[in-house]
Each structure stands twice: as C-alpha cells, then as structure tokens.
C-alpha cells in the first residue's frame, strides 16, 4: 500500500479576487503536477477543480474566511488526522496543526510579515509569525519558493539549511506571445490607445506601488498609461491618495482582479512590466511576463533578482528616479527592449511546474526517510 500524504490546500480559492493570486496558483499547479506513482495524496480543500488522481476531502466549514480556516486547521483537520494516521502531513501555506500525529512538511512563501510587520493588520501578522515559526520548527522538512526565502527561514527560525528545500514556481503554458491581431483587438476592447506600462499584483503595502507612481509621474509622455492589474488586498488607501496627489488620475487605470485566461493578453499588450515590490517570496508575474515577450524592470530586493536573472533591469527599490530612468530607457531604446525580450524567453524556460511537482514529491520522500 502506498504511503498517504495528507495535504492542506484550503487557500485554493474558487472566487475571483486577490486570493486567486500567487499562492493560489502555486498550490494549484504543484498539486496538478505531483507524480502519482509512489504516494497517495489526500487533499483537504473546498476547491472543486482538482486534477484526477488526487483524493479530495471537503468540509462544510466556510474556510474562505480566515478565522474559520484557522479554526478548521487546528481542530477539524487534526481530528481527521488522528483517525486516518497518514504517513506525512503537508501544510501548503505557513501552517500545520499544533497537535499532529504524523510528521510534517510546511511551505513558506515569504516572511514579509517579519520584515515589515507594520504593513500587516496586527492579528494577521501575529498569527502568521507565530504559526510559521512553530510549523517550521516542528517540520521534518520546509519548502520555500526561492533561495532568498530559504535563507530567511534559516535566519529567523534557526532551521538548518539542509532541512530546507527550494521548489521554484513554474510558468503555465497559457503565458506565451500573442499575435498582433489579438493584441490590437484586446487593446481596443479595453479602450487603451498607445503605449502602457503594466503592474500585476495585489494592492498592498509591500508591492511598493507609491514608488512606481512617483516614477511614472516623471515620464513626460502624456499619452503613456500605467495599468495596475490586481485585486485590493489591505492598507491600499495610500495608493489611490498618491494618484490624486500626483494629478495622474487620467493616466492611471486600476482593473481590479482579472481572470487568469486574460492575463497573457495584458502582458503581451504592455510595452513594459514593472515589478517594484520591496519584498517577495519569488515574483511570479516576472517570469509570466517574460514568457509573453514583455520586457521587465524590477526592484533589486529579496528574491526578485532570482526571478529576473540576466533578462531584466533592476532598480534601487525605493528610488523613484532610478526606476523612471530605467522605464524610459526601455520605452525609447528598441535595441534594449528587443534584447530583453530575447533573454526573457530563455529565463522563463528555466521554471517548470512539472519540475515543481517532482521536487515537492522528492521532499515528501526525504521527510519519510528521515
């Protein structure tokens, strides 16, 4: 009989919104690409679109609500685990049960709540910090999505580096260059005339959007637009206030959350993706944009240089002048932008969801053998 791995995937979201951003995509793709030859997977989730071969175990608890999910993680799930006694338990987002009958693995995406605690609601910051520390110290193995986060987990929680595995995100096949006709039709449909700079990410403090707005305001091109794709997270009022203060309301567009299938067209239609975050676990929009043939300018903080590689331009994270200079260089230097597109295709190909699934299963085997 194959060993059972019981996986908590309750952060998978069936509703449109910011929760269907990076963590949702990572969990969904890893589950979709787990090799199913040596292990049996029991997946705890309310999400209904799991691939065949995974045994889904649902709950009546409305776990899309944060407090209800925490209650489920620490009461209902442990009761199930004591009944089923799986060989291994995997918390796919920061948490494992406080009381657990089986060895555990936990995935940590980033430690932004420790780097920038003031940028989180207090209770959320406290729970994430407390639970992540406890889960890492109890786990046989920890998964991170970048070398930067691996080093953070080692430094903040004193977890030996040899106990932490890096499983990079991949790039979905939908992210690819689009035809000129498709791009033209898309821009016409969205009412976009001329060139635009794109940002993709949830509206929250660590995305460093005010610096992007300051830089964009310096670009002396009245017809150029800035489009921010992504749902509202938390503490986002400063962003809208900054747009008004800079008097660029007519040049900045907020789309809100957009469906996954629409994102490739936003990337391909953009002249440039800017990713100014002050901290990231990885930065999936970077490689998605590169796969679509879009040049990338990004901040030089945390894990972001790992995603960018040699294919994009980096800027000093909080330096709006530095960012503005790089944006103008890409917009006005066709030789540079063409080179960045070419290098971007090669960089994006380094990241594979198939490989992410295999490496996650390898972590399971390491944990089972310890």
DSSP 193: -
Instruction: Give all domains of the chain, ordered by start, each with its CATH number.
Output: 4-170+352-369 (3.40.50.2000), 180-348 (3.40.50.2000)
Kind and range of the H or E run holding 31: helix 22-32
Q: Using the predicted structure, report yes or no on whether residue 165 has a pLDDT greater than 50.
A: yes
Pick the closest to residue 230 from 276, 197, 263 (CA basis).
Answer: 263
Q: In this predicted model, what pLDDT tens digit does every residue of 178-230 receive, in sequence order?
A: 999 999 999 999 999 889 999 999 888 889 999 999 999 999 888 889 999 98
Q: How far is CA 164 from the centre of its chain?
A: 19
Q: What is the pLDDT of residue 328?
A: 96
Q: How far is CA 306 from the centre of its chain?
A: 14
Place of tokens 């972001």: 304
DSSP 118: G
Pick the closest to residue 171 from 301, 345, 18, 364 (CA basis).
Answer: 345
Q: In this predicted model, what pLDDT tens digit does every residue of 58-100 receive, in sequence order?
A: 888 888 888 899 999 999 999 999 999 999 999 999 999 999 9
Q: Do the Cβ atoms of 163 and 137 come closer than 8 Å?
A: no
Residue 327 backbone class (left: φ over 0; alpha: ψ -120 to 50; beta: rest):
alpha
Dihedral sign of CA atoms 131, 106, 229, 335 in order = positive
227 DSSP β-pair partners: 198, 253
Pick the closest to residue 41 from 75, 90, 76, 81 (CA basis).
Answer: 90
Residue 362: CB atoms within 10 A of its CB come to 14
Q: What is the pLDDT of residue 235?
A: 66
Q: What is the pLDDT of residue 15?
A: 57
DSSP structure string for 253-289: EEEE---GGGHHHHHHH-SEEEE--S--S--HHHHHH
The structure tokens listed for 339 are 């080179």
Q: Using the predicted structure, report yes or no on whether residue 352 has a pLDDT greater than 90.
A: yes
Pick the closest to residue 106 from 77, 133, 69 (CA basis).
Answer: 133
Kind and range of the H or E run holding 369: helix 353-369
Pick the closest to residue 178 from 270, 260, 284 (CA basis).
Answer: 270
pTM: predicted TM-score of the whole model, two decimal places? 0.90
DSSP 288: H
* Residue 12's pLDDT band (cuts 50, 70, 90): confident
How far, in Å, CA of 57 to CA of 6, rounded? Answer: 10
Place of tokens 């979201």: 13
Q: In this predicted model, what pLDDT tens digit does every residue of 28-55 receive, in sequence order?
A: 999 999 998 899 999 999 887 777 789 9
Q: What is the pLDDT of residue 362?
A: 97
Kind and range of the H or E run holding 4: strand 4-8
Q: Where are the beta strands (DSSP E) in 14-103?
A: 40-44, 55-57, 88-91
Q: Using the predicted structure, report yes or no on whether residue 20 has a pLDDT greater than 60.
A: no
Dihedral sign of CA atoms 301, 303, 304, 305 in order = positive
DSSP structure string for 205-252: GGG-HHHHHHHHHT---TT-EEEEES-B-SS-HHHHHHHHHTT-GGGE
How far, in Å, CA of 144 to CA of 156, rounded? Answer: 14
How far, in Å, CA of 343 to CA of 310, rounded? Answer: 7
Q: What is the mean pLDDT of residues 319-325?
A: 97
Q: What is the pLDDT of residue 19?
A: 45
Q: For the chain, give the mean pLDDT.
A: 92
Rg of the chain in Å (alpha carbons): 21
Q: In this predicted model, what pLDDT tens digit does every residue of 99-138 receive, in sequence order?
A: 999 999 999 999 989 998 887 888 889 999 999 999 999 9
Residue 256: CB atoms within 10 A of its CB come to 13
């Amino acid at each position: 009989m194959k060993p059972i791995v019981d996986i908590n995937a309750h952060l998978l979201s069936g509703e449109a919104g910011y929760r269907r951003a990076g963590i949702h995509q990572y969990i969904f793709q890893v589950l979709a690409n787990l090799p199913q030859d040596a292990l049996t997977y029991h997946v705890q989730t309310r999400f209904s679109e799991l691939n065949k071969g995974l045994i889904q175990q649902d709950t009546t608890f409305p776990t899309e609500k944060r407090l209800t999910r925490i209650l489920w993680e620490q009461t209902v799930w442990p009761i199930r685990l004591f009944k089923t006694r799986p060989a291994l338990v995997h918390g796919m987002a920061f948490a494992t049960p406080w009381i657990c009958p089986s060895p555990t693995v936990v995935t940590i995406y980033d430690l932004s709540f420790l780097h920038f605690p003031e940028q989180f609601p207090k209770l959320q910051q406290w729970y994430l910090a407390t639970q992540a520390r406890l889960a890492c110290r109890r786990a046989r193995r920890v998964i991170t999505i970048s070398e930067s986060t691996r080093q953070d987990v080692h430094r903040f929680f004193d977890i030996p580096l040899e106990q932490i595995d890096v499983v990079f995100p991949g790039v979905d096949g939908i992210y690819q260059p689009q035809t000129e006709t498709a791009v033209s039709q898309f821009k016409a449909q969205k009412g976009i005339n001329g060139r635009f700079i794109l940002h993709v990410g949830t509206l929250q403090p660590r995305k460093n959007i005010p610096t992007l707005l300051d830089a964009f305001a310096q670009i002396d091109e009245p017809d150029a637009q800035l489009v921010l794709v992504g749902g509202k997270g938390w503490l986002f009022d400063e962003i809208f206030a900054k747009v008004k203060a800079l008097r660029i309301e007519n040049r900045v567009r907020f789309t809100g959350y957009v469906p996954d299938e629409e994102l490739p067209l936003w990337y391909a239609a953009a002249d440039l993706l800017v990713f100014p975050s002050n901290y990231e676990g990885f930065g999936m929009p970077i490689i998605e944009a590169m796969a679509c043939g879009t040049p990338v300018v990004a901040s030089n903080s945390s894990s972001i240089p790992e995603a960018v590689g040699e294919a994009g331009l980096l800027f000093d994270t909080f330096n709006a002048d530095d960012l503005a200079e790089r944006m103008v260089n890409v917009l006005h230097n066709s030789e540079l932008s063409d080179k960045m597109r070419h290098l971007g295709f090669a960089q994006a190909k380094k990241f594979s969801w198939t490989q992410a699934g295999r490496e996650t299963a390898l972590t399971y085997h390491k944990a089972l053998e310890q």
